Structure 1
Amino acid sequence: MSIPSGRKKVAAIVTEYRSDSHAEVILGRLLGRFGYCPQIEVASLYLDQVPPNDMGVCEAQAHGVAVCATIEGAIAVQHDGSPIDGVLLIGEHGDYPWNEKRQKLYPRRRFFEETFQAMDRLGLAVPIFNDKHLSHRMEDAQWIYEELIKRGLPFLGGSSIPHTSPIPSYSRTRLNRVKDIFVISWLGLESYGFHGMEVLQALAEQRDCGEQGVVAVQALEGRSVWAAMEQGSVPEDLMLQALKTMRITVPGHPRDHVDVPVLFIVEYGDGVKGYVLQLQRFVREWAYAFRGEDGEITAARCDSGLGRPYSHFEKLTRQIEHMVITGQSTVCKERTYLTTGMINTGMESLHLGKRIPTPELSAIRYDPVKRDL
């Protein structure tokens, strides 16, 4: 596809570019795939890994995109004599090790470090998009967050799911004085659990008081999840209401089908509680229910695509383009930093089998830039 000149240009730094990867469903759209009409141009591509089923090299060649051997090389690429206007970091998928906490060790800090170093050498200060959370290590996430703040760079991070529309729709004022929020997620504990954490936080941050920080996170696994519901310490009614909004579910109660559920419990500083339940393959999408101050329950599902071309990535791609073009992000850095801490602490709690206080997260305060859900 021929893209008109004069459009802003980005460098794409990815772990792996193959079918159904995040690189394909984001960059593919920016290359005109999936019936998408891009507003910005991919000028260069860095591939950290090139597996046998790689499609990045061929896609780049077909669209005149420079494939670079280093991150600095990709960021240094000029097009029509001008430097790039943004950097997209897509550190998802690929052959990387796992740690004992069941976290996949993507090179997200390295991506940021080399990006910052290249930008410094080139005298650039351009927007950065980072797919999903900042790092599996909170020390690295804090460093990245502080560097973004220090540099004053426009930044968009996190999940594609909070950008979806709720079905059915409801008045957002119902979240002003929310008491508890229950999110249903599925598949990978860390990878899809982060989507669930982002959905939870996109709801929680709409409180009248804004975000007041997270004081503790706990994870339950297996039969202890169902036992907590039976004891009344976890709101089963919210889970059941959320399940009713889904298009495809297995008949019956999840306890009859899911042997090893995982539940993340997030305790907010103002007393609100959030729950993210991982139901493996019992469901195929995200849904939630929340209880207001008056006791009324509101439930909805996230209008994500069940298969190709994964429509929820279209909305995320539009958000990326908006930031590159305007220099303004629709999601503040603090949300991504907070949800990074939430999923990392959740995985640590799962590993250690105990509730973990989070003093570093309790100090995070912010008001949302935009109401996504």
Structure 2
Amino acid sequence: MSDSESGNKIKVAAIVTEYRYNSHADVILGRLLGDFDYRPRVEVVSLYTDQVPDGDMSREAASRHGIPICETIGEAIRAIHTGGPVDAVLLIAEHGDYPHNEKGQILYPRRRFLEETLAALDELSLAVPIFSDKHLAYDYEDALWMYNAMKERGIPFLGGSSIPHADLVPAVDPSRMLSLRDILVIGNGGLESYGFHAMEVLQSIVERRRGGETGVRSVQLFGGEQGEVWAAMDRGEWPEDLLLSALSTYPDLPQVHPRVSEPNPALFVIDYLDGTKGYIIMFKRLHEQWGFAFHDGQGEIAAARCNSDLDRPFKHFERLTSIIEDFFITQVEPFPMERTLLTTGMISFSMDSLYARTKLETPQLHIKYG
């Protein structure tokens, strides 16, 4: 009989960078604590916060629920106050006051969080499921180390973001994705932080093509200076028809070509080993939802947008939280860990491409799964 069936909830350690209003800790961990009218099926028994900003919510929440705030990650994992170690670990290294590198990436301590978690689990001879929010790390070598460390230990892992789990409007027949060849995703916001959401939308669709994933040959990121993205479109270097089809799924957009309202978007170009082409166009203000369109191999286009709430309570985070709980309870990964490794590499090497101002070949991303 499982813990959930016997009435004993899975015990979770929550390890976060910061816990403040509308942070990822608020909208995920907050739900696991019963906020947002959410009924959790697991029990958070220990909390570690790397930073305590103005507007911190962790101290009040911990006091309200009788949860200790631990001095170290190892202490949170051991959870001696509960009579034994935890059954699962929630890692949220998003938001907080951390430095940026020369490529514009925020140096979130995702590898450090995992290293300290694994050190505690090794000490206890445990391999419990781990969820890590968004991409594995800002640096691909760190990400690969994290992937290998968990694979070697047989640790069930779930990572990534909330957006690929949102409902598609309109719904798309998955059979049309089998012969997908070219796909364009619309995103918005920061090139790394929000670009990763778009990478996950892209990969969650592309991986469904017949034969599964075979890996990425090269990446390039154009930063959107002086209209270069629109000039490339005019030269036929990326598909305008997919852009307009994707935008057709958005309600109430201005009735003008997006080049009028967005003169300098950014563009990611992803070349897959099997010849599939992926494009991500990142706007600054046109719309805040993610959408996509693709050629289905029959000369037709399928298009949809991810129906994510733009305002609190952010229902797409409720979907993600439920998926995390299912994963903690069953220890069954809802999609291969390789997706998170691949999308981490795609965003990391894209930021390298922008910094170097050139296309980068990516033999490191010849990652197969499916």
Shorter chain as denominator, the TM-score bin is over 0.9
Aligned residue number for residue 295 of structure 2 = 291
Aligned residue number for residue 201 of structure 1 = 203
Q: 1:116-150: CA deviations, max 9, x gaps?
A: 00111122210000000011111111100101110
Aligned residues: 363
Aligned residue number for residue 365 of structure 1 = 368
**Secondary structure, counterpart of 1:290 in structure 2:** strand
**Does 2:330 align with 1:326?**
yes
Deviation at 1:278, TM superposition (A): 0.7
**Secondary structure, counterpart of 2:184 in structure 1:** strand
Aligned residue number for residue 30 of structure 1 = 32
Aligned residue number for residue 321 of structure 2 = 317
Q: Hey, what's the Cα distance between the residues in 2 that align with 1:80 and 1:360?
A: 43
**Does 2:112 align with 1:110?**
yes
Residue number among 14, 19, 22 corresponding to 1:20 in the alignment = 22
Deviation at 1:56, TM superposition (A): 1.1
**Secondary structure, counterpart of 1:198 in structure 2:** helix
Deviation at 1:250, TM superposition (A): 4.0
Q: Flag structure 1 segments of 5+ consecutive residues without an equivalent.
A: 368-373
**Secondary structure, counterpart of 2:69 in structure 1:** strand
Q: Contact between 2:78 and 2:84, CA under 8 Å: does it hold in 1? A: no
C-alpha root-mean-square deviation of aligned residues, in Å?
1.3
Q: 1:146-187: CA deviations, max 9, x gaps?
A: 011101111000111111111101210000010101000001
Aligned residue number for residue 352 of structure 1 = 356
Q: 1:44-71: CA deviations, max 9, x gaps?
A: 1100000111111111111111111111
Residue number among 45, 48, 67 corresponding to 2:47 in the alignment = 45
Distance 1:112 1:80, change over 3 A: closer
Q: Contact between 1:220 and 1:350, CA under 8 Å: does it hold in 2? A: yes
Residue number among 300, 307, 331 corresponding to 1:303 in the alignment = 307
**Secondary structure, counterpart of 1:38 in structure 2:** coil
Q: Percent identity?
A: 54
Q: Contact between 1:215 and 1:267, CA under 8 Å: does it hold in 2? A: yes
**Secondary structure, counterpart of 1:260 in structure 2:** coil
Deviation at 1:79, TM superposition (A): 5.7
Q: Scaled by the length of structure 2, what TM-score is found?
A: 0.96
Aligned residue number for residue 132 of structure 1 = 134
Letter in 1 for 2:78: A
Deviation at 1:252, TM superposition (A): 2.0
**Does 2:272 align with 1:280?**
no
Q: 1:296-354: CA deviations, max 9, x gaps?
A: 00000001111101111111111110111011110211000000000001111111111
**Secondary structure, counterpart of 1:66 in structure 2:** coil
Residue number among 74, 91, 95 corresponding to 2:93 in the alignment = 91
Q: Contact between 2:103 and 2:352, CA under 8 Å: does it hold in 1? A: yes
**Does 2:337 align with 1:337?**
no
Aligned residue number for residue 165 of structure 2 = 163
Aligned residue number for residue 149 of structure 1 = 151
Q: Hey, what's the Cα distance between the residues in 1 that align with 2:333 and 2:289?
A: 26
**Secondary structure, counterpart of 1:191 in structure 2:** coil
Q: Contact between 1:8 and 1:325, CA under 8 Å: does it hold in 2? A: yes
Q: Hey, what's the Cα distance between the residues in 2 that align with 1:298 and 1:173?
A: 11
Q: Hey, what's the Cα distance between the residues in 1 that align with 2:263 and 2:173?
A: 36
Q: 1:265-316: CA deviations, max 9, x gaps?
A: 0000000000111101211110000111111000000011111011111111
Q: Contact between 2:103 and 2:355, CA under 8 Å: does it hold in 1? A: yes
Q: Contact between 1:288 and 1:299, CA under 8 Å: does it hold in 2? A: yes
Aligned residue number for residue 68 of structure 2 = 66
Q: Contact between 2:45 and 2:82, CA under 8 Å: does it hold in 1? A: no
